[in-house]
Amino acid sequence: MDILMPKLGLTMTEAEIVEWKVAPGDRVAVGDVILVIETDKSSNDVEALDAGVVEALLVGVGDVVPVGTVIATLNPEG
């Protein structure tokens, strides 16, 4: 399952990855904070929309990523 860079505002087109709160192999539940992103206007926590095990982080800290880009993959549980 793909985790995408979310669109958190009407004018948001991209964001910088500030910090990953998870690593490959970590289990996440819906609502867990998985990363922090920064736009030109603010820093935001991004929560998991699905539960599962993080398979891979596809972008690194400091990368600026367009909205809708796959930033990580998740293996859903069950």
Name the average pLDDT for the chain: 95
Q: How far apart are CA 24 and CA 26, in angstroms?
A: 6
Indicate whether 40 pLDDT > 90.
no
Three-class HEC string of the chain: CEEECCCCCCCCCEEEEEEECCCCCCEECCCCEEEEEECCCCEEEEECCCCEEEEEECCCCCCEEECCCEEEEEEECC
pTM given for the model? 0.91
- Tell me, what CATH number does 14's domain have? 2.40.50.100
Total number of domains in the chain: 1
Please state, in angstroms and as integers, the Cα–Cα distance from residue 45 to each residue in 17, 18, 77, 78, following that order: 10, 10, 23, 26
Per residue in 8-23, pLDDT tens?
A: 988 899 999 999 999 9
Indicate whether 73 pLDDT > 90.
yes
| Domain extent at residue 17 | 2-76
